[in-house]
Amino acid sequence: MRIDEAHRKATGLFRKRGWRVFKFQRDAWKAYASGESGLVHAPTGTGKTYAVWFPPLAEWMTGQRRGKSAPGLQVLWITPLRALVEDTRLSLLELCEELEVPWTVEARTGDTSGALKARQRRRLPSCLVTTPESLSLLLSYPDFKESASELKAVVVDEWHELLSTKRGTQTELCLARLRKWNPSLRTWGLSATLGNLEVAMSALLGTNAEGTLINGGMKKKFVIETVVPKSLERFPWAGHLGGKLVEEVAKRIEGAQTSLVFTNVRSQTEYWFNALLLVRPEWEGLIGIHHGSIERKSRREIEDRLRTGEIKAVVCTSSLDLGVDFSPVDQVIQIGGPKGIARLLQRAGRCGHQPGASSQVVCVPTQAMELVEFAAARDAMEDKRIEKREPLRAPLDLLAQHLVTLALGEGFREREALEEIRSAWSYRDLTDEEWGWTIDFLVKGGKSLKAYDQFKRVTRKKGLFRVDSRRVERFHRMSIGTITSDPAILVKMRSGKSLGTVEESFVSRLKPGSNFFFAGRLLVLDRVRDLTAYVRLAKSKKGTIPVWGGGKSPLSSELADTVREKMREVSNGSLKGREMKAMKETLALQAEWSSLPGTDGFLIEKTKTRQGTSWFLFPFAGRLAHEGMAALVAYRMSKLEPMTLSVSFNDYGFHLCSNTDRDVGVSEWKSLLSPDGLVDELVACMNLSEMAKRQFREIARVAGLVFQGYPGSPKSGRQLQASGGLFFDVFSKYEPDNLLLIQSRREVLERQLEVERMREALARIREQEFVLNHPARLTPFAFPLWAESIRAQLSTESWGDRVRKMSEKLEVSA
Amino acid sequence: MSLNNGGLELGWGGETLLICPEKAVFWKKRKALFVADTHFGKAATFRKSGIPVPETSSRDDCLLLEQLVSRTKAETLVFLGDFLHAREGRTEEVRLDLIAWRERLPKLELHLVRGNHDLRSGDPWPELGIKCHPEPWREYEFELRHHPVERSSKPYLAGHVHPGFALRERGGTSLRAPCFQVGEERIILPAFGDFTGLRKVVPGEGDRIFMTDGREVLEVPARGWKSTTPNWKRKV
């Protein structure tokens, strides 16, 4: 069979299913057939999978060595989520069967049975579906090189999800090794649309390769509609509006076949699930709840029922953002601002999953400002302005881990290995110093240490780095794949049924006997023992909703830019779209009492409140950057004149409150908001070392300092138990120039404080004209910041009352 | 304060004990000093398994013990279990450090109440001259143990838990430090060793908590401790 014959066969097959072959799929087939690598980007549900899965099958069908029996490993298929592996496997297998290709397709993850793993050690399937961790683990076996000798291609699914994470970096490193074994290996990525696809592709293919970027961006239709509440308070505050819209959401669910209801955080999922059942008690059993903390088995069950269409709606978080094909879903409801354009696109893509079908998205604001966000997101989507995701820069914890993996596999030699590592995009600028330090860390136990003769991790013999110790070998294999796992408490019913996990910090705040919502149930805590919280169903009706760690992601900078554009539009007198029209009165009032923020001038409001003097600043740079900026400005202010300042912040701006009044003029604000000396002053005013210590936990785990014991034999590792925090203290005390410590500081600045965005915002502000207003009352934009600032002082109930009263008072004045 | 060097005197079980900031308890009447969970050789154990730990040095811990002994003029030192961390940590380096320390304090009487780690790592080197006892050791008016027990015939001192306590500002930063957990029937000592870590304790009914930062002992309210300054009101 010739290659175009094979392509014809596939085309026929697609037609039989009622689909047609799209141009981008043909482009990918051709590019693959000519030996190229590349990246296919398209919204979900457009047939990306077939674009890259068919070509290797076609090649085999037309090749010399085809036969009736399954060949050895031809394709590695990497997917970010363990939960997606089985579905992916089945859909890959389906095409093999229809094309009558006798390939075996198997999965390999942490969940794979020991028997299957053992069989795979002897012979790998023709296509192996796996995760980055499991691939890394395979590389640690010396015989893997031999088993992978026929490998033709690696496909990385949902590459955008991995790209800017350590697991993405781990994938880059693994690919660098596979390419070293086989320079003609083809790498193909599948990605949602990103703002920096060229970089995404370079990261995937490494620094030595060029590739083909294939745009599968068919005009998938998005119908985005926002639920606009009939009456809109002009003084919006978080979490208040949403509750009023429950009935509206319930009606939307009734009007569709199957809905996915997305919220931004897990606690909101619990809230909405319970709220929906309250207005529609008959939905008991017909709607489901799905988030990352819920037991995998119940999640699985929900997913299965989604697939068969037996369920009316599922309330979920990003746990359902990815992958799996839920054909019956015909409506997506987004609760709360999407915070990012790519995220809204991704979620929109979860419905109308047949290629060509349209996506129906209903947006539900939880506070009035989010109306602007939705309007901005739609504009940005039309302009194809999508967020970028940047690969990480040379994380040394992961490098240390990977080098041990290589040493365990076939071993490595320094110069060759360095070249190989630098061929991975994230490490292309790895310095000689960083490399040398990492090698010392592995061989001697650290740079500043005299060589301990007892220290043994990687040994060097005649220039070859290997692992000698069985103990190191076992520990290492145990610890690969623990990049993301935080101490979690298992929630278990007294009957023994486990419901999922919650963060320890949440449970530690509960007393035995208190109620909380979890997995859609109201539970009573009995006791906590051995990392398990024993619970039973509660009789009373009141409970707390867990607030999980992790938390809210900030407004993306692309969306923030578009929000600012919307504000500029408004200031030029045009209100485009239903959302903006609904905001009309609020915006008019803002303009009347003060000025519109986010426009050409930089708005600072000063208002007297019962708490003292309040300043409100609106940089529109996202909550993380605002948190840092607020601390920075407060710090600089108090250096001018000693005073106690409280701060609060949201995605649009921040608020400083002081009991001493002070006149701050334009030139003084300019210096308070100057980007000069940013990092040093941040270090001085944020509790950076405490933050770095928390960040170090992950680094310690990845770099192999901390072990969680062997599963099944928890006792044998016990004499090696120490927490990441303890290592942080010990290193800080005895080895302060340890590069892992420095990495933890950098990660805090980059990831938790978004220092780059702060710098950009401050640079932008420097160029702006300042508008200093002194409104007599809180303005609509200042109000939510004020509400946030008194939240910390009061219990939830009295807080709600207090804010409601203030809002009514302001409405009267308006 | 200078008199006690940052320590606190505590009337307990009819006796007067000095809670020392160096994570030890001194009993003036008997000139006896008590420390728990030294875990000598822990860093060495880690290094042997390929986990790089900088030399936190048994030497630093020894130096501290030596200062403590000479300051209190103690004649007896009792280790409340977990003297050595693990069999793998019985290295020559650790042995030489300990012997050098012993030679500087030749007159001191040394006792060890064996803890769970001691059972696996074995008794200390004989040349250290440490008398080893199974728990409970009933030499004094109160018992000496490694593991805390729910009920005992007499009040006792114990270790094992590595108790730590956190002072938390609302929702924000917290200060974690080793602590003594003092009840009417028992005192649980913090771990003496530098590289040992903490376990957060939940104070029981009637428990008092004494935190130490290494220089000063401070009694803190055992429950409901909250900063009067809410988190957002950062003092700057």
Which residues, in sequence order, are CB contacts of A188 under 8 Å at separation 6+? A28, A32, A37, A38, A39, A40, A52, A153, A154, A155, A156
Torsions phi, psi of A213, nearest 5?
-95, 120
In a shared domain, residues A666 and A748 = no
pLDDT category, B32, cuts 50, 70, 90? very high
In a shared domain, residues A333 and A368 = yes
Q: What angle do CA A691, A693, A694 make, to 5 degrees?
A: 65
Cα dihedral A624, A626, A627, A629 sign? positive
Cα distances (angstroms) measured from residue B50 to each of A445, A448, A472, A705: 8, 16, 6, 9
pLDDT category, A662, cuts 50, 70, 90? confident
Check whether B43 has a pLDDT greater than 50.
yes
Give the residue from A478, A396, A459 showing the smallest Cα distance to A166: A396
**Which positions in chain B touch A690 (Cβ < 8 Å)?**
173
Is residue A726 within 8 Å of A696, Cβ to Cβ?
A: no
What average pLDDT does the segment A105-117 reach? 87
Is residue B129 within 8 Å of B123, Cβ to Cβ?
A: no
Cα distances (angstroms) measured from residue B166 to each of A246, A487, A579, B220, B235: 41, 18, 47, 10, 20
Q: How many CB pairs under 8 A join A and B?
A: 105
Torsions phi, psi of A58, nearest 5?
-60, -40
pLDDT category, A87, cuts 50, 70, 90? confident
Check whether A149 has a pLDDT greater than 90.
yes
In a shared domain, residues A288 and A273 = yes
**Which positions in chain A touch B42 (Cβ < 8 Å)?**
719
Classify residue A551: in a domain, yes or no. Answer: no
Check whether A360 has a pLDDT greater than 60.
yes
Give chain A's radius of gyration (CA, Å): 28
Whole-number pLDDT of residue B228: 32
pLDDT category, B1, cuts 50, 70, 90? very low
Q: Does domain B8-220 bear CATH number 3.50.4?
A: no
DSSP secondary structure letter of residue B169: -
CA A594 to chain centre: 37
End-to-end CA distance of chain A: 78
pLDDT digits (tens, 9 = 90+) for B206-228: 889 999 988 888 888 876 443 33
Whole-number pLDDT of residue A135: 94
Question: Which structural domain range is residue A191 located in?
Answer: 3-215
**In this complex, which of B49, B55, B235 lies closest to A644 when CB atoms are compared?**
B235
Classify residue A457: in a domain, yes or no. Answer: yes
> Distance between CA atoms of B126 and B131, rounded to whole angstroms?
9
pLDDT digits (tens, 9 = 90+) for A69-85: 889 999 999 998 777 78
pLDDT digits (tens, 9 = 90+) for B59-109: 888 999 999 999 999 999 999 999 999 998 898 888 999 999 999 999 999
Classify residue A761: in a domain, yes or no. Answer: yes
The number of distinct structural domains making up chain A is: 5
- In a mutational test of the A interface, the residue from B40, B49, B87 whose CB has the highest number of chain A CBs within 10 Å is B49
If one compares A752 and A17, the residue with the highest pLDDT of the two is A752
In a shared domain, residues A697 and A807 = no
Whole-number pLDDT of residue A127: 97
**Which positions in chain A touch B44 (Cβ < 8 Å)?**
454
pLDDT category, A522, cuts 50, 70, 90? confident
% chain B with pLDDT above 90 = 53
Q: What is the CATH number of the domain that holds A260?
A: 3.40.50.300
Cα dihedral A717, A721, A724, A728 sign? negative
pLDDT category, A268, cuts 50, 70, 90? confident
Inter-chain touch B230–A789, beta carbons under 8 Å: no
> Distance between CA atoms of A727 and A696, rounded to whole angstroms?
9
Whole-number pLDDT of residue A56: 93
Check whether A718 has a pLDDT greater than 70.
no
- Domain end residue (candidates: A752, A780, A796): A752
Beta bridge partners of B12: B15
Give the residue from A697, A302, A260 showing the smallest Cα distance to A500: A302
Beta bridge partners of B156: B143, B186
3-state secondary structure of B232: coil
pLDDT digits (tens, 9 = 90+) for A614-655: 999 999 999 889 988 998 998 898 888 887 788 888 899 999
Whole-number pLDDT of residue A325: 66
The whole-chain average pLDDT of chain A stands at 85
Check whether A243 has a pLDDT greater than 80.
no
Check whether A776 has a pLDDT greater than 70.
yes
Put simply, whether A454 touches B (Cβ < 8 Å) is yes
pLDDT digits (tens, 9 = 90+) for A289-348: 988 788 878 888 888 888 888 899 999 987 787 765 677 888 999 998 888 898 888 888
> Distance between CA atoms of A537 and A69, rounded to whole angstroms?
54
In a shared domain, residues A277 and A293 = yes
Classify residue A135: in a domain, yes or no. Answer: yes
Check whether B236 has a pLDDT greater than 50.
no
% chain A with pLDDT above 90 = 40
Classify residue A172: in a domain, yes or no. Answer: yes
Which residues, in sequence order, are CB contacts of A538 under 8 Å at separation 6+? A515, A522, A523, A524
In a shared domain, residues A721 and A761 = no
Put simply, whether A716 touches B (Cβ < 8 Å) is no
Least confident of A385-399, A409-423, B47-61: B47-61
Least confident of A188-192, A580-584, A710-714: A710-714
In a shared domain, residues A264 and A350 = yes
% chain A with pLDDT above 70 = 88
Give the residue from A176, A744, A220, A692 showing the smallest Cα distance to A420: A176
- Domain end residue (candidates: A170, A189, A215): A215
Whole-number pLDDT of residue A50: 86
If one compares A770 and B167, the residue with the highest pLDDT of the two is A770
Q: Are strands A153-156 and A532-537 parallel, antiparallel or unpaired?
A: unpaired
pLDDT category, A798, cuts 50, 70, 90? low
Which residues, in sequence order, are CB contacts of A123 under 8 Å at separation 6+? A72, A147
Whole-number pLDDT of residue A811: 77
In a shared domain, residues A111 and A159 = yes
DSSP secondary structure letter of residue A751: I
Q: What angle do CA A99, A105, A108 make, to 5 degrees?
A: 165
Whole-number pLDDT of residue A1: 63
Whole-number pLDDT of residue A351: 77
Cα distances (angstroms) measured from residue A235 to each of A45, A190, A231, A422, A695: 40, 44, 12, 54, 37
Which secondary structure element, helix H or strand E, spans residue B195, and what is its range? none
Whole-number pLDDT of residue B200: 83
Give the residue from A731, A618, A628, A724 showing the smallest Cα distance to A679: A628
Whole-number pLDDT of residue A791: 67
Put simply, whether B227 touches A (Cβ < 8 Å) is no
What average pLDDT does the segment A650-676 reach? 91
Inter-chain touch B54–A449, beta carbons under 8 Å: yes
Domain ranges of chain B: 8-220
If one compares A359 and A417, the residue with the highest pLDDT of the two is A417
In a shared domain, residues A350 and A251 = yes
**In this complex, which of B47, B171, B235 lies closest to A445 when CB atoms are compared?**
B47
Is residue A405 within 8 Å of A139, Cβ to Cβ?
A: yes
pLDDT digits (tens, 9 = 90+) for A174-224: 999 999 999 999 999 999 888 999 999 999 999 988 899 998 865 567 788
135-154 in B: which are within 8 Å (CB) of A? none
Which residues, in sequence order, are CB contacts of A704 under 8 Å at separation 6+? A400, A401, A404, A457, A475, A476, A479, B50, B51
- Domain end residue (candidates: A149, A181, A215): A215
In a shared domain, residues A32 and A156 = yes
Q: Determine the residue type at A144.
A: F
Classify residue A58: in a domain, yes or no. Answer: yes
Classify residue A547: in a domain, yes or no. Answer: no
Put simply, whether A659 touches B (Cβ < 8 Å) is no
Inter-chain touch B50–A456, beta carbons under 8 Å: yes
Check whether A764 has a pLDDT greater than 90.
yes
Q: Is A794 exposed, middle or buried (0-12, 13-18, 19+ CB in 10 A)?
A: middle
Beta bridge partners of A188: A38, A155
**Which positions in chain A touch B88 (Cβ < 8 Å)?**
719
pLDDT digits (tens, 9 = 90+) for A733-751: 888 888 999 999 998 888 8
Least confident of A225-234, A457-466, A797-806, B222-231: B222-231
In a shared domain, residues A162 and A113 = yes
- In a mutational test of the B interface, the residue from A443, A455, A503, A735 whose CB has the highest number of chain B CBs within 10 Å is A455
Check whether B170 has a pLDDT greater than 50.
no
Inter-chain touch B236–A456, beta carbons under 8 Å: no
Which secondary structure element, helix H or strand E, spans residue A359, and what is its range? strand A359-364
In a shared domain, residues A350 and A262 = yes
pLDDT digits (tens, 9 = 90+) for B48-68: 888 888 776 678 889 999 999
Put simply, whether B228 touches A (Cβ < 8 Å) is no
pLDDT category, A244, cuts 50, 70, 90? confident
DSSP secondary structure letter of residue A458: S
